[in-house]
């Protein structure tokens, strides 16, 4: 029996996800230069032909992953901002979401972005777009903090600087726990208490 168009689309989307997940892991651990397409195809268990059906090149999948991670970051901040809760609850929700997924994937996403910002193959145009997107998300967090300051929920200080401190702590905990040396149990309070008024 022939598969329906909807079934075929589900399979295509699933394959795209599998290749993307494998590429994220390989790029995060090996960096762009050391990653080979064969590393990605071996991990995702797909053929070269199928890889090239979805992505034109190693550069293409690398850039697609970077912008996918940054777009997810922006979208999650925007969802937090749109919540009808107080600014403290908005940032608490964002913090919970940040730590809700796989620690391994979160760590890989952070390493991918760090590597891309320092990577030679990423053109200056790509790096500028990355920085612009990253700052868009950070400024969204700063707006939440600024609104919370006006309501007496967050400590005084430059909202953008406080947002950077908050993100640094979140990312630092993620990367630290990924090392599995002395895991720190996550809680919203641990990440946010330094922001409290």
pLDDT greater than 80 at residue 86: yes
User: pTM of the prediction?
Assistant: 0.84
pLDDT over 80 (residue 12): no
Q: Check pLDDT > 90 for residue 117.
A: no
3-class secondary-structure state, position 175: helix
Q: Spell out the long-range contacts of 66-73 with Cβ–Cβ below 8 A and sequence spacing 24 or more.
A: 66/112, 66/113, 66/116, 66/122, 66/126, 66/130, 67/129, 67/130, 67/133, 68/20, 69/109, 69/112, 69/113, 70/113, 70/130, 70/133, 70/134, 70/137, 71/133, 73/133, 73/134, 73/137
Q: Please check the confidence at residue 132 and state whether its pLDDT lies above 60.
A: yes
Considering only CA atoms, give the Rg of the chain.
Answer: 19
Q: What does the alpha-carbon distance between residue 178 and residue 184 come to, in Å, rounded to a whole number?
A: 10
Q: What is the pLDDT of residue 104?
A: 78
Q: CA 107, CA 94: separation in Å to the nearest integer?
A: 17
Strand, helix or coil for residue 101: coil
Output the average pLDDT for the chain.
Answer: 86
Mean per-residue pLDDT for 129-142? 94
Distance CA 60, CA 66 (A): 10
More confident residue, 121 or 37: 37
Asked if the model's pLDDT at residue 42 lies above 50, the reply is: yes
Confidence grade of residue 2 (pLDDT, cut at 50, 70, 90): low
Three-class SS state of 178? helix
Q: Collapsing DSSP states into helix, strand and coil, what is residue 196?
A: strand
Checking if the pLDDT of 1 tops 60, the result is no
- Give residue 3's pLDDT band: very low, low, confident or very high (50, 70, 90): low
The answer to whether residues 116 and 134 touch, using CB atoms and an 8 Å cutoff, is no
CB contact set of 160 (below 8 Å; sequence gap of 6+): 138, 139, 142
What pLDDT was estimated at residue 145?
Answer: 97
Domains of the chain: 1-55 (1.10.10), 62-195 (1.10.357.10)
The pLDDT tens digits for 54-79 are 889 888 899 889 899 899 999 999 99
What whole-number percentage of the chain has pLDDT above 90? 39
CA distance 183 to 197: 28
Give CA separation, 177 vs 84, 106, 107, 182, in Å.
Answer: 32, 11, 9, 7
Q: What is the pLDDT of residue 185?
A: 80
Using pLDDT thresholds of 50, 70 and 90, give the confidence band for residue 139. very high
């Amino acid at each position: 029996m022939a598969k329906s168009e909807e079934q075929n689309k589900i399979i295509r989307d699933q394959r795209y996800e599998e290749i993307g997940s494998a590429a994220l892991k390989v790029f995060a651990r090996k960096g762009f230069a050391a990653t080979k397409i064969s590393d990605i195809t071996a991990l995702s268990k797909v053929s070269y032909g199928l890889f090239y059906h979805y992505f034109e090149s190693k550069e293409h999948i690398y850039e697609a992953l970077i912008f996918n991670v940054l777009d997810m970051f922006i979208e999650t901040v925007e969802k937090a901002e749109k919540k009808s809760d107080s600014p403290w609850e908005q940032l608490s929700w964002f913090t919970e979401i940040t730590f809700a997924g796989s620690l391994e994937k979160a760590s890989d996403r952070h390493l991918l972005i760090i590597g891309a910002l320092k990577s030679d193959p990423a053109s200056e145009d790509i790096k500028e777009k990355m920085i612009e997107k990253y700052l868009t998300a950070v400024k969204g967090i700063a707006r939440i903090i600024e609104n919370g300051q006006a309501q007496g929920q967050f400590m005084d200080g430059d909202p953008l600087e406080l947002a950077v401190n908050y993100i640094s702590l979140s990312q630092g905990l993620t990367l630290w726990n990924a090392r599995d040396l002395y895991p720190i149990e996550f809680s919203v309070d641990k990440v946010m208490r330094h922001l409290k008024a």
